[in-house]
Amino acid sequence: MKVKFAHGDVLNRGCIRQVSYQTVNGQGERVGKYANVYLPCGYDPEKPYNIFYLMHGGGGNADAWLDSCPLKNMLDRSIADGELEPLIVVTPSYYTPGTGEPGMDGEYHKTLAFQKELVEDLMPAVESAYHTYAPSADREGLHASRMHRGFGGFSMGAVTTWNAFIRNIDYIGYFMPLSGDCWAIERLGGSSQSEKTARYLHDAAVQSGYKPDEYFIYTLTGTGDIAFKQVYGQVGAMLQFPDTFVDATGFNAGNFCYHFEEGAVHAYPDVCQYVYQALPCFFKK
């Protein structure tokens, strides 16, 4: 892992804007939501930008990343220091008023329900307001620009990210699940059903029709994290499909990178370090 990011002042600061949009809840009602949008310093509405959607963990909201760690300062400094190309970062929420049942299974169902909202409501709202590589903010335009779009998330946000890989790979080329496994087989399936989970992800990738050089996954967690066992088990199982998940760790040419940070725990400050490490690897294809 590269030298850890240290919070500090920076002259060239980006700004945070808010995008409001309408979506449909579990009762079929139209409800209002919002997402925060980070614009890099000197944002030029005539220039296209890569875009990265970053989801909170369970119990969070669209403000969680901005409230809980120095995400904005990290982005400002990384861009100012030339470590990161200027990009747009969006922090939304998978919670929708009037949707889903309580408990962990309910949480999972909310991350699934969000997948439709992501493509039909959130992306069009953001990418019609700000200039990305999408030639239009409809499905056709989002598909055409998928290799300029990433999605990541922490904990249940990582579960959301694995769901996005399975269900929305047509619109996203880069994925960053942080301290969370895929629950497609069962809750915490990365450890309890690691082989079946990896097989499910493999089959989803194959059925999508995309070649391994047309998507990229970087998953990270800490050895002191409550999700370590699940992520470690899932990563090991995914490596058993080297034609689909090509090991990119150690600067190898591949599409599947992973990192286990010694002692890091299940908390935003540690996970912000993962974003600092992984995001400069995105949008390179």
In three state form, how does the secondary structure of the chain look? CCCCCCCCCCCCCCEEEEEEEEEECCCCCEEEEEEEEEECCCCCCCCCECEEEEECCCCCCCCHHHHHCCHHHHHHHHHHCCCCCCCEEEECCCCCCCCCCCHHHHHHHHHHHHHHHHHHHHHHHHHHHCCECCCCCCHHHHHHCHHHEEEEEECHHHHHHHHHHHHCCCCCCEEEEECCCCCCCCCCHHHHCHHHHHHHHHHHHHHHCCCHHHCEEEEEEECCCCCHHHHHHHHHHHCCCCCCCCECCCCCCCCEEEEEECCCCCCHHHHHHHHHHHHHHCCCC
With a cut of 80, say whether residue 102 has pLDDT above it: no
Q: What is the pLDDT of residues 117-156, one digit of tens each?
A: 999 999 999 999 999 999 999 999 999 999 999 999 999 9
Which pLDDT score is estimated for 6?
Answer: 78
Which pLDDT score is estimated for 86?
Answer: 98
Which pLDDT score is estimated for 232?
Answer: 98
Q: What is the pLDDT of residues 9-20, one digit of tens each?
A: 899 999 999 999
Find out whether 116 and 130 touch, Cβ atoms under 8 Å: no
Mean pLDDT of 1-25: 90
**All domains of the chain, ordered by start, with CATH?**
15-281 (3.40.50.1820)
How far is residue 277's CA from residue 85's CA, in Å, rounded to a whole number?
14
Residue 44: CB atoms within 10 A of its CB come to: 11
Which pLDDT score is estimated for 27?
Answer: 87
Find out whether 175 and 218 touch, Cβ atoms under 8 Å: yes
- Strands across the sheet containing 15-24: 15-24, 30-39, 88-91, 51-55, 149-154, 174-178, 216-222, 256-261
Mean pLDDT of 253-278: 96
Higher pLDDT pick, 253 / 38: 38
How far is residue 55's CA from residue 39's CA, in Å, rounded to a whole number?
17
Which pLDDT score is estimated for 5?
Answer: 84
pLDDT band at residue 67 under the 50/70/90 scheme? very high
In three state form, how does the secondary structure of 231-265 look? HHHHHHHHCCCCCCCCECCCCCCCCEEEEEECCCC
With a cut of 90, say whether residue 4 has pLDDT above it: no
With a cut of 90, say whether residue 24 has pLDDT above it: yes
Average pLDDT across the chain, whole number: 95
pLDDT band at residue 209 under the 50/70/90 scheme? very high
Is the overall model pTM greater than 0.75, yes or no?
A: yes
Which pLDDT score is estimated for 250?
Answer: 65
Which pLDDT score is estimated for 42?
Answer: 97
Instruction: Identify any residues that bridge with 281 across adjacent strands, giving them in sequence order.
Output: none
Distance of CA 91 to the CA centre of its chain: 10
